[in-house]
Structure 1
Amino acid sequence: MAKKLKEKTVKALKERRKRPLETPTDLASEATRDISAVLNQVLADVFALYLKTKNFHWHVSGPHFRDYHLLLDEQGDQLFAMTDPLAERIRKIGGTTLRSIGHIARTQRVLDNDADYVQPLDMLAELCEDNKMLAATLREAHNVTDEYRDIASSSLIENWIDETEKRTWFLFEASREGDTSGH
């Protein structure tokens, strides 16, 4: 009996070595494929938005420098804090995740801004739109995770939607400087 168990264990280890990144999950293979794809899309957008936010944080200038600098630093930290849980969630369900900056660049939908100078209010307005887009992307991802009953991913996404909406709100309100119309 012990010999048979040992042979079975050795066989299982040999099989595992053929597929070292295969993580056991009760989700169907289509669920792993679809959820991993949508979460990798979110992850690429989060990395792109993180870097854009930090770019603007590093290059903001003007009379509201300190306020904008601190706001963008806080928002960058929030975005970066999403990256590891996103990637680890993909791995937990048996998927693989982004591997390089090039992979991010091929996957991201958030547009880069490589301009030498951007007006501070334009920075805030652009980041506001990017965060609105990220919220929509997160909702799309939530639809996929709900479809496959991936409650853990859905739960994480719900919190990230709330954080993203808060960033959008703060950026919108901060970018209204000089707007006396009340809109």
Structure 2
Amino acid sequence: MTSNESPQIGIEDTDLKEINSGLAKVLADTFTLYLKTHGYHWNVTGPHFRSLHLMFEEQYNALFAASDDLAERMRALGDTAPGSMAEMLELSSLKDHEPTDDALEMVRILQRDHESIAATIRPLSVAADEAGDGATADLYNARLDFHEESAWMLRAFAS
């Protein structure tokens, strides 16, 4: 933690450190996926342009809002959130730049990334709950629902 004093909210300092570490990773993955999705929104072409352009817009708007929620949760837990692209890229497990002109490849890449974030979140949600941090677990579960639904929609489009 970057703060001199941890918040006294009934969560052990070691648990707070682990929870914030997980939040930072999910934030970085979320922001990286936000940028990738926004880029695909700008650059998608082809016979499915309109439907993909709109789907990507819905997803990047949700990802941007989620980034704010994740960062603010870190602040509530006494830590600072990563705030630069360098920090995001260092923490993210996703590839930040995967240019393609193929709309279906865009869909497959985004599907894979949503599934990857879901797989990252699942154990973090359990750990937050076990540490007595139901608020973070709830945030994670909402994110998990979004990523699993987004992956499903993308998978359905690509099939």
Q: Contact between 2:45 and 2:101, CA under 8 Å: does it hold in 1? A: no
What residue number does 2:94 align with?
Answer: 110
Aligned to 2:117: 134
Equivalent residue number for residue 10 of structure 1: none
RMSD across aligned positions (CA): 1.5
Question: Normalised by the size of structure 1, how large is the TM-score?
Answer: 0.81
Q: Provide the C-alpha distance between the structure 2 equivalents of 1:42 and 1:83, rounded to a whole number of angstroms.
A: 9
Query: Which of 65, 77, 80 in structure 2 is aligned with 1:93?
Result: 77
In the alignment, structure 1 residue 156 sits paired with structure 2 residue 143: no
Contact 1:23 1:91 in 2 (8 A): no
CA contact (8 A) 2:115 2:148 kept: yes
Structure 2 gap segments, 5+ residues each:
none
Alignment match, 1:3: none
Partner of 1:147: 130
Extract unaligned runs of 5+ from structure 1.
Answer: 1-17, 177-183
The separation in 1 between residues aligned to 2:64 and 2:57, in whole angstroms, is 11
Contact persistence 1:49–1:79 (CA under 8 A)? yes
1:35 aligns with 2:19: yes
In 1, the alpha carbon distance for the partners of 2:56 and 2:92 equals: 20
> How far off its partner does 1:146 sit?
1.8
What displacement does 1:81 show? 1.1
Structure 1 runs (4+) deviating above 3 angstroms are: 21-24
After TM superposition, give the deviation of residue 140 of structure 1 in Å: 2.3
Paired AA for residue 36 in structure 1: N
The one of 73, 86, 90 equivalent to 2:57 is 73
- In the TM superposition, what is the alpha-carbon distance from 1:163 to its structure 2 partner? 1.1
Contact 1:24 1:93 in 2 (8 A): no
> Do 1:52 and 1:113's aligned partners in 2 also have CA atoms closer than 8 Å?
yes
**2:97 is paired with a residue of what secondary structure?**
coil
Q: In structure 1, what residue type is equivalent to 2:150?
A: R
Larger radius of gyration: 1
Q: Report whether the alignment pairs 1:172 with 2:140.
A: no
Report how many aligned residue pairs link the two structures: 157
1:25 is displaced (CA, Å) by: 2.7
* C-alpha contact 1:25 1:94 (8 A) present in aligned 2: no
1:119 aligns with 2:105: no
Partner residue, 1:8: none
**Identity, % of aligned positions:** 34
Q: How far does the alpha carbon of each residue in 1:83-111 deviate from its partner, in whole angstroms, 9 at most, with x for none?
A: 11111111111122112111001110011
**Given the superposition, is the C-alpha separation of residues 73 and 121 from structure 1 closer, same or farther in structure 2, using an over 3 Å criterion?**
same
Post-superposition offset of 1:171: 0.4
Q: Give the structure-2-normalised TM-score.
A: 0.93
Distance 1:106 1:130, change over 3 A: same
Q: Using the alignment, how far apart are the partners of 2:6 and 2:101 within structure 1?
A: 45
